[in-house]
């Protein structure tokens, strides 16, 4: 019985995580930039196409993140992919609700060069 309850709870948790809105983009990077708006700096990724969904607002061509939260690995991968004109996958699917948005723009926590 305990095993059944544990499995039911795990399935419920899995369904809840999968149902959370996230932003995912597969395509090329148009530009990478650092910007400051109202004394708040941020690192941005402008996309050549549009992401599938933006749970933070209506902008579908930008991922934004505070510069101090962007890992060196992600910056290196994004720069290499952009310079080599490679297709990338960028997502915020594994972020918590609080980490998922930077204002009206989605953040990112997953970068993969395809």
- Tens place of pLDDT for every residue, the chain, 114 residues? 555 454 444 444 443 444 468 999 999 999 999 988 788 899 999 999 999 999 999 999 999 999 999 999 999 999 999 999 999 999 998 888 888 998 899 999 999 999
- Summarize the chain as % helix, strand, coil (round to 5): 30, 30, 40
Contact of 112 with 50, CB cutoff 8 Å: no
Give the side-chain half-sphere CA count within 13 A for 106.
Answer: 28
**CA–CA dist 34, 14 (Å, integer):** 36
pLDDT at res. 1 = 53
Sign of CA pseudo-dihedral 53, 34, 97, 7: positive
């Amino acid at each position: 019985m305990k095993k059944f309850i544990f499995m039911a709870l795990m399935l419920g948790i899995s369904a809840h995580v999968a149902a959370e809105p996230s932003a995912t983009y597969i395509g090329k990077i148009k530009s990478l930039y650092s910007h400051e708006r109202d004394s708040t700096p941020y690192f941005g990724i402008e996309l050549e196409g549009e992401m599938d969904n933006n749970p933070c607002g209506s902008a579908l061509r930008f991922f934004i993140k505070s510069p101090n939260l962007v890992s060196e690995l992600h910056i290196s991968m994004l720069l290499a992919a952009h310079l080599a004109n490679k297709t990338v996958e960028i997502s915020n699917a594994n972020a918590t609700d609080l980490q998922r948005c930077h204002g009206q723009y989605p953040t990112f926590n997953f970068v993969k060069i395809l």
